[in-house]
């Protein structure tokens, strides 16, 4: 969620610059003889201040909203470099990979890659990456699943990677895109396959949100996911005493981008869910605090596990635990859930 943090800071910076400009305008008005007597000046100052504050609020809200809805993420090469620098790319370049495309919601084209298991298998997993990343941000999870006999499907989420520019809702529309990939996977490999979902951060939101449509999947692993987008952004703004801004950001999202932050709500998608759910979260995650995973566990009705990883910040659980440690969590969960 680093890109969301950037947009939040950019909004604060815009607010600061605008406030300084407003102060200069008021100072000029007070000192200039052009504006007549003291009473007239006061009236002008009040009007200028109100108009300027409204303009500042609108500008900051739109800046913040654009950071949410129009992600500026890594290219495929940049993501590969980042994964290599963190020791997470491993032998992914040597694996057999087949690129293909799937039409998502509204005919939107999604770029996908199929990575077969080492041995012929009827097990499949679709892995959804985080905000500002792309399909190669999911590569670090592929090796663990291949060791467990899974064929892996990774893809660029809407508005990310090689996909065309589009509005990103962090789960609302993207869950319908994922449904299209699920349907395509069943069409390609059979309706009787063992199919699961794995998501990181925004990818967790997408994976869990898809459950409200009752897809044909038998498990979900959700790493560092959030419970509700509006609540997440509001709580994050509280540290800067700016939570009052989030309703305006939400209004900007509705008016300019056509979606409501409240409705990106994985916790609501879990109502009545019985698909086994494994929640993994870094103990030191300040971007999306671990409490989000606890709320998600409370919301589901099916079998669930939660694993809080000491020393891991946001989206660092795989890196901190290493491949074997992370794979162990997945393997035990799948055994406990009756999938393996």
Shared domain for 322 and 251, answered yes or no, is no
Beta pairing class for 109-115 and 123-128? unpaired
Q: Are residues 98 and 182 in the same domain?
A: yes
Query: Are 219 and 238 within one domain?
Result: no
Residue 72 has a pLDDT of 87
Q: Are residues 95 and 196 in the same domain?
A: yes
Between CA 141 and CA 147, with CA 146 as vertex, the angle to 5 degrees is 105
The β-bridge relationship of strands 98-103 and 109-115 is antiparallel
149 and 276 together in one domain: yes
Look at the block and give the residue holding tokens 């660092």: 316
Residues of the chain short of pLDDT 70, as ranges, are 1-58
What pLDDT is attached to residue 231? 96
Same domain, 153 and 28: no
Residues 190 and 302 in one domain: yes
| Range(s) of the domain holding residue 149 | 76-227+264-336
pTM of the full predicted structure?
A: 0.87
What pLDDT is attached to residue 62? 85
Q: How far is CA 184 from CA 262, 300, 331, 335, in A?
A: 29, 26, 26, 26
Domain shared by 148 and 177, yes or no: yes
Which tokens go with 242? 């700016």
SS3 194: strand
Total domains in the fold of the chain: 2
Across the chain, mean pLDDT equals 89
The Cα 149–Cα 151 span in angstroms is 7
Assess whether 288 and 320 both reside in one domain: yes
């Amino acid at each position: 969620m680093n890109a969301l943090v950037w947009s939040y800071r950019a909004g604060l910076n815009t607010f600061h610059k605008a406030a300084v400009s407003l102060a200069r305008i008021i100072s000029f008005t007070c000192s200039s003889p052009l504006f007549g007597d003291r009473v007239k000046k006061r009236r002008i100052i009040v009007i200028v201040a109100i108009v300027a504050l409204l303009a500042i609020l609108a500008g900051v809200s739109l800046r913040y909203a654009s950071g949410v809805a129009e992600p500026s993420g890594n290219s495929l090469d940049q993501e590969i470099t980042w994964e290599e620098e963190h020791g997470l790319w491993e032998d992914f370049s040597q694996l057999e990979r087949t690129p293909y495309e799937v039409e998502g919601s509204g005919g939107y084209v999604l770029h996908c890659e199929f990575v077969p298991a080492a041995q012929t298998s009827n097990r499949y997993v679709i892995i959804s990456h985080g905000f500002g990343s792309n399909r190669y941000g999911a590569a670090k999870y592929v090796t663990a699943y291949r060791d467990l006999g899974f064929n892996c499907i990774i893809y660029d989420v809407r508005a990310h990677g090689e996909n065309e520019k589009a509005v990103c809702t962090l789960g609302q529309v993207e869950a319908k895109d994922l449904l299209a990939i699920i349907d395509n996977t069943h069409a390609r490999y059979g309706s009787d396959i063992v199919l699961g979902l794995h998501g990181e951060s925004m990818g967790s939101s997408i994976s869990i949100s898809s459950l409200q449509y009752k897809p044909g999947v038998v498990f979900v692993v959700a790493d560092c996911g959030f419970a509700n987008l509006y609540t997440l952004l509001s709580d994050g703004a509280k540290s800067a005493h700016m939570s009052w801004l989030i309703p305006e950001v939400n209004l900007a999202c509705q008016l300019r981008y056509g979606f409501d932050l409240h409705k990106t709500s994985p916790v609501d998608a879990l109502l009545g869910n019985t698909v086994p759910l494994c929640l993994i979260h870094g103990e030191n995650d300040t971007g999306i605090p671990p409490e989000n995973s606890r709320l998600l566990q409370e919301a589901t009705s099916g079998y669930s596990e939660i694993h809080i990883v000491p020393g891991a910040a946001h989206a660092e659980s795989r890196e901190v635990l290493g491949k074997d440690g992370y794979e162990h969590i997945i393997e035990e969960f799948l055994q406990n859930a009756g999938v393996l």
